[in-house]
Amino acid sequence: MADETGKAPAGPSGGQEGEIDDMLSHLELNDDELDDVVVGVEAAKEFQKSARWLAIGKVQTIRSFSAEALFEKMKSIWNLAKDPSCREVGENLFIFQMHCLADWKKVVHQGPWTFRGWGLLIEDYDGLGDPAEVVFGGMHVWAQIHGIPELYRKQVVVDDLARRIGNVKEVQMFPKLFFEGNYVRIRVRVQVSKPLPRFVSLTLPEGRKRLAVKYEKVPFFCKRCGLIGHDHEECGDRVWEDKQLQYGSWMLATRRANQSTVANRPFGGRTGSRGGWSGRAIVNGGSARKRTSEDASLDEEDDQTKDTASSPLKPVPTDELPETDIDESRNGARKQLDMSETDTEEVIEQMDTGVEGGLNITPRPPPAYVNNKDKKQRKENDLGKNLASSAASLEEDRRA
């Protein structure tokens, strides 16, 4: 109940032991409130086993969102061996229960994880402390350090440079160049309470160099203050000119176009038909322009290009055949068309004679379609007739 000022009295809802101690100092507890529930040592050990794969998380944003949408999205992104148990324990505070070591390692130590572009901060949780008191220090991100001179591209130098960005988890000295530029790739844990580092400095005998830092798949960050979790329009009085923005999209790594297979492809053929090459014209050494029949000299026929092929399906003009061939072909055609009377009678006998004496060469129609219901009814009728006939025969035998 609220007091006269309209505020609710302080209570243990925050879970802080100091508030509970203050309340117990002037409250009198009854017997039911003093009746303890005792958890044995063995039971506590079993409970600790089930709490081995716990993690707690929060979304680094000041905006509201649906907890159910977060759970469904992260289950799809994580794609774990077993679906985790998710529970909301406070305002923008969630507990995830994994069921095996591999799933727990993936959720806690990999990433960065993002939800709708906002960063999801994950910390290990033992299940004993108050979730509201868990400190979310940072998140793991992939960063790139560009422009290190080849002479000083050494592990010891890169490690020192990476520590200027965050806690180092992994260093790739010679990564595959999926992004633009000449860089080393590092995995670090950055502090969300500090701005994202934009440059790291390297002092050499030749002078001081500023090396650009770029990030891969980093969540939303402010272009004014560099903090993860909000936009520059939500920072301060939310009115900033472009020249006042100290951070921007130039800090994001740019993925390269897929050119790894183009350089190794030979010119010509189908490979050369794209990208400005001239395709088959390069292979054949000719021009890519279409040629006319006059350019190709197709109108002038010679003995080598004249069509002299013949086939049974391609009749040959009679004016091109000698007289002997014409006579033989005509005689052969007559032999094929002449049919004796005996052959004609045999063919007629094989055909059905119609009602009116004409020849009927139409095939017999197919049997009429009978559905399953009619078939079943016919079977029942035939079965009834058979039973009736058998009963009659038995009656006749009995009378005899």
> Mind listing the pLDDT tens digit for each residue in 51-94?
788 999 999 988 899 999 999 999 999 999 999 999 999 999 99
- Of the two residues 287 and 30, the one the predictor is more confident about is 30
If you average pLDDT over residues 233-257, what whole number do you get? 88
**CA distance linking residue 58 with residue 299, whole number of Å:** 81
Residue 19: which residues within 8 A CB-CB, separation 6 or more? 10, 11, 12
pLDDT band at 311 (very low <50, low <70, confident <90, very high): low
**pLDDT for 350:** 53
pLDDT band at 27 (very low <50, low <70, confident <90, very high): confident
**pLDDT for 264:** 47
Q: What is the per-residue pLDDT across 261-280, written as a single tens digit (0 to 9) for each?
A: 444 444 444 444 444 444 44
**pLDDT for 175:** 92
Question: Given a cut of 70, is residue 342 above it in pLDDT?
Answer: no
Question: Given a cut of 80, is residue 10 above it in pLDDT?
Answer: no
By the 8 A CB rule, do 164 and 200 touch?
yes
pTM: 0.55
Provide, rounded to the nearest whole percent, the portion of the chain with pLDDT above 90. 37
* 344 bridge partner residues: none
**pLDDT for 400:** 59
**pLDDT for 48:** 73
**CA distance linking residue 191 with residue 87, whole number of Å:** 26
User: Could you count the other beta carbons within 10 Å of the beta carbon of residue 297?
Assistant: 11
**pLDDT for 331:** 56
> Helix or strand or coil: residue 373?
helix
Question: Given a cut of 70, is residue 319 above it in pLDDT?
Answer: no
Closest CA to 241 of 225, 229, 224, 227: 224
**CA distance linking residue 247 with residue 225, whole number of Å:** 7
Provide, rounded to the nearest whole percent, the portion of the chain with pLDDT above 70. 66
Q: What is the per-residue pLDDT across 193-217, written as a single tens digit (0 to 9) for each?
A: 899 999 999 999 989 999 999 999 8
Beta-strand ranges (E) seen in the chain are 54-60, 85-90, 93-97, 113-115, 118-124, 138-146, 167-172, 183-191, 199-204, 207-216, 352-353, 359-360
CA distances from 183 to 47, 159, 171, 246, 340 (A): 47, 14, 11, 23, 96
Q: What is the per-residue pLDDT across 362-393, written as a single tens digit (0 to 9) for each?
A: 677 777 777 888 888 888 888 877 777 776 67
HSE-CB of 90 using CA atoms within 13 angstroms: 14
Amino acid at 327: D
**CA distance linking residue 129 with residue 135, whole number of Å:** 11
By the 8 A CB rule, do 240 and 135 touch?
no
By the 8 A CB rule, do 120 and 57 touch?
yes
**CA distance linking residue 41 with residue 96, whole number of Å:** 25
**CA distance linking residue 397 with residue 391, whole number of Å:** 10
**CA distance linking residue 196 with residue 220, whole number of Å:** 11
pLDDT band at 361 (very low <50, low <70, confident <90, very high): low
Highest mean pLDDT among 32-46, 127-141, 289-303: 127-141
**CA distance linking residue 29 with residue 122, whole number of Å:** 39
Question: Given a cut of 70, is residue 328 above it in pLDDT?
Answer: no
Question: Given a cut of 70, is residue 99 above it in pLDDT?
Answer: yes
**pLDDT for 170:** 92
- The first and second tokens of residue 167, run together, are 């806690």
3-state secondary structure 343-367: HHHHHHHHCEECCCCCEECCCCCCC
